[in-house]
């Protein structure tokens, strides 16, 4: 009886709490629900999409294009013809035309095609982007846009000239945890950042075939960390000092590295550290930590089925492993980046990653590689117009 005085009125007559902002899945669910009553806006056309490359990245994007109410696949370009029939059956793509890269002119010339998704090997990006933009198609391209500054600039110049978006898919910018960290840093929750650290340890180890055409660990992998770090801070480094090793003989034979530690020195005094590996045997290790005089904000690893714990013998409580690889860890980020790209194509949103951003990231990656290869600290000079807004 002692607590009877606390008895509440019926929840039906009280204000119920709304879903917290952090519940991004519920937010998406509400958006889907709202579509039932508001119907699709008249300008929401369905875009015809051609996908170049159906390997690891291309398969992730195919799933989004197939399931997105705003898009329809019309072409798939990939040279491994033996895969075509199975892909057609699995994704129910009976109306989709499959082509080899030698036949890709058909895509460029087809005026029905609105959007190209480029998920082919990096060395093919520049040619595909150029042809598609010249044919006035919007381009969603896996990072990196191209292999060197001149080619990257050329692609962005064509995009500007023809007035079509060239979207560089830096998926980590669309991860809810990383967005949350950035928002908190930008609100000043830790004050002026003293140290920012990223840990990126890849899993599983990529194949040697992939690595031999990847462009190397700096332009293939580290660009993600550089983008994440500079996007969180809103600042580019003035100097970089990098150590790199190849523990794996097959990677050493490619004149590449599998392990890198980089220190980035920012003009404001912030120090950045990137810890990178091609081969983590305990899963896809992706962490971000930002430290300042007022505290620390971090995004640690996510685990699937994290609510389950087991105990056997005297080992103590055992949790499930972290996500195994990028398709699962960044599943939502890939969906969100593609949705945003569609909004950009429709003129509803601005490109989040512009020519200057990508060129700056490439310049920092090149400086990091030079530092690793020469053992020197490399200084970066920035013109005012190159710096982030
Ligand atoms: N953002 C990310 O998380 C992420 C992850 C993986 C790869 N990537 C990027 O995606 C791109 C592809 O990497 P991947 O890991 O999917 O490689 P992959 O080797 O798994 O797949 C590449 C596919 O492209 C096909 N292909 C080869 N030449 C082609 C051409 N000229 N036209 C069309 N298709 C062609 C191949 O047959 C293969 O199926 C790379 O640029 C890479 O940097 C990004």
Structure confidence at residue 388 (pLDDT): 87
Query: Which atom of ligand 1 is closest in space to residue 78's alpha carbon?
Result: 34
CB-CB contact of 44 with 71 (8 Å): no
- 77 Cβ below 6 A of ligand 1: yes
Q: How far apart are alpha carbons 203 and 114 in whole angstroms?
A: 34
Structure confidence at residue 84 (pLDDT): 96
CB-CB contact of 250 with 208 (8 Å): yes
Q: Tell me how far the alpha carbon of residue 58 lies from the centroid of ligand 1, in angstroms.
A: 6
Q: How far apart are alpha carbons 172 and 331 in whole angstroms?
A: 10
Nearest to 79 by CA among 101, 50, 55, 105: 101
Spell out where 78-230 has E strands. 97-99, 115-118, 138-142, 166-169, 195-201
- 200 Cβ below 6 A of ligand 1: no
Q: At what angle do helices 355-374 and 149-162 cross, to 10 degrees?
A: 180
In this chain, the answer to whether the domains covering 44-169 and 173-325+355-386 adopt an identical fold is no
- 143 Cβ below 6 A of ligand 1: yes
Q: How many residues does the chain have?
A: 389
Structure confidence at residue 43 (pLDDT): 63
CATH architecture, domain defined by 173-325+355-386? 2-Layer Sandwich (3.30)
- 122 Cβ below 6 A of ligand 1: yes
Of 51, 57, 75, 130, the residue with max ligand 1 atoms within 8 A of its CB, to mutate for a pocket test, comes to 57
Q: Tell me how far the alpha carbon of residue 303 lies from the centroid of ligand 1, in angstroms.
A: 26
Domain boundaries, the chain: 44-169, 173-325+355-386
Of 80, 122, 142, 173, the residue with max ligand 1 atoms within 8 A of its CB, to mutate for a pocket test, comes to 142
Tokens encoding 380: 């970066």
Structure confidence at residue 41 (pLDDT): 55
Structure confidence at residue 65 (pLDDT): 96
Q: pLDDT tens digits for 40-72?
A: 555 668 999 999 999 999 999 999 999 999 999
Q: How far apart are alpha carbons 229 and 235 in whole angstroms?
A: 9
CB-CB contact of 67 with 93 (8 Å): no
Q: pLDDT tens digits for 285-310?
A: 999 999 999 999 999 999 999 999 99
Q: Within 13 A of 210's CA, how many CA atoms are on the CB side?
A: 13
Nearest to 330 by CA among 220, 174, 122, 117: 174
Q: Whose CA is nearest to atom 32 of ligand 1?
A: 101
Q: How far apart are alpha carbons 159 and 116 in whole angstroms?
A: 13
Residues of the chain with pLDDT under 50: 38-39
Strand-pair category, 47-52 with 71-77 = parallel
Structure confidence at residue 356 (pLDDT): 92
Give CATH for domain 44-169: 3.40.50.720
CB atoms within 10 A of CB 286: 28
Residues with Cβ within 8 Å of 352's Cβ and at least 6 positions away in sequence, in order, are 173, 340
Nearest to 291 by CA among 369, 195, 188, 187: 195
Of 51, 55, 212, the residue with max ligand 1 atoms within 8 A of its CB, to mutate for a pocket test, comes to 55
């Amino acid at each position: 009886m002692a607590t009877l005085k606390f008895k509440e009125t019926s929840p039906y007559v009280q204000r119920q709490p709304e879903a917290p902002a952090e519940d991004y899945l519920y937010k998406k669910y509400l958006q889907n629900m709202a579509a039932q009553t508001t119907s699709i806006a008249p300008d929401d056309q369905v875009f015809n999409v051609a996908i170049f490359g159906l390997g690891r990245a291309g398969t992730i994007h195919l799933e989004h294009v197939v399931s997105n109410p705003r898009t329809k696949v019309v072409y798939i370009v990939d040279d491994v013809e033996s895969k075509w029939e199975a892909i057609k059956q699995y994704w129910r793509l009976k109306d989709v035309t499959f082509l080899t890269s030698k036949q890709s002119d058909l895509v460029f010339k087809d005026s029905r095609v609105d959007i190209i998704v480029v998920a082919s090997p990096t060395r093919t990006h520049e040619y595909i982007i150029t042809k598609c933009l010249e044919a006035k198609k919007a381009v969603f391209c896996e990072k990196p846009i191209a292999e060197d500054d001149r080619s990257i600039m050329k692609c962005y110049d064509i995009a500007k000239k023809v007035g079509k978006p060239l979207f560089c898919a830096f998926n980590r910018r669309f991860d809810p945890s990383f967005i949350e960290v950035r928002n908190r840093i930008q609100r000043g929750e830790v004050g002026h950042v003293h140290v920012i650290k990223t840990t990126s340890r890849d899993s599983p180890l990529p194949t040697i075939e992939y690595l031999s055409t990847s462009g190397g660990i700096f332009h293939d992998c580290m660009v993600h960390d550089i983008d994440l770090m500079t996007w969180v801070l809103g600042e580019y480094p003035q100097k970089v000092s990098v150590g790199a090793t190849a523990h794996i003989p097959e990677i050493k034979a490619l004149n590449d590295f599998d392990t890198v530690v980089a220190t980035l020195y920012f003009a404001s005094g912030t120090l950045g550290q990137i810890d990178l590996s091609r081969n983590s045997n305990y899963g896809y290790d992706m962490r971000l930590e930002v430290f300042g005089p007022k505290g620390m904000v971090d995004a640690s690893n996510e685990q699937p089925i994290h609510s389950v714990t087991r105990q056997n013998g005297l080992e103590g409580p055992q949790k499930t492993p972290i996500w195994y690889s990028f398709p699962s860890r960044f599943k939502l980020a890939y969906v969100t980046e593609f949705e945003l790209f569609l909004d950009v194509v429709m003129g509803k949103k601005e490109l989040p990653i512009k020519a200057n951003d990508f060129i700056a990231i490439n310049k920092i990656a090149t400086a990091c590689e030079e530092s690793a290869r020469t053992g020197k600290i490399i200084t970066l000079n920035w013109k005012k117009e190159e710096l982030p807004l």
